[in-house]
Amino acid sequence: PALPGPLAAAGSAAGAGAMPKVVTFRRGPVFTNMRERLGEDGFNVFHCRRCSAHVVITDADLSCIPRRRTDGALVLDASSVVIRLNTTRQEGSQLIRRPNGAERQYVHTCASCGHAVAYTSLPHSEDLRLLYVTESAVRVPWDKMKSPWACNVCGYVCQSASQLEAHRKQRQHSEQDEGGGGGDAANGTKPIMVG
């Protein structure tokens, strides 16, 4: 049914019987699937082993993350990489005995289950400089690690530089093949494509 008079113009502009449109503004982008978005951007998400909640998000290259000599924890330097925490800061500190003395640790626990996942050597009131992530408490996405010893021709990932050289010799890959030229530029030959 048509609306009489001025209501007809207002009804047709807003849509007949439709609710008014609500517009909200947000400061950052809105993601519908946060894990998918983070995976595309090259971020590494560490998950709690107990409850599978994400606890640390970083853009650190997994092949270059150093470890502590004392306990083997992964060391994330906040001055050189992005670190986003989903943890709660445990009140107080722990005193850990080491062969050379004692160490005070300020613990970060999982926000969901309260499992200790990381620690710092500075009080929580100070800025984060180094974060030590306990590998036994989190799942590290090692499958996303970029190896420095990958063959640029076929993509084969090696464990060492010597293994990469042996692979190149066995498969007859040369440095010229890695350039992506697709043939020997000196004599003008092109590769034969079969299939």
Using DSSP, state whether 178 is helix, strand or coil: helix
Cα atoms found within 13 Å of the Cα of residue 136, Cβ hemisphere only:
4
Quick: pLDDT tens for 137-174: 999 887 776 667 777 777 777 777 888 888 888 888 77
- pTM, full prediction: 0.58
Over residues 83-96, the mean pLDDT reads 93
Measured between its terminal Cα atoms, the distance across the chain in Å is 67
Q: Which amino acid, one-letter code, is at 105?
A: Q
What is the structure's pLDDT at 182? 44
What is the structure's pLDDT at 190? 55
Distance set, CA 135 to CA 67, 80, 153, 187 (Å): 10, 20, 33, 53
Q: How confident is the model at residue 1 (pLDDT cuts 50, 70, 90)?
A: low
pLDDT at 131 over 90: yes
| H or E element that contains 76 | strand 74-77
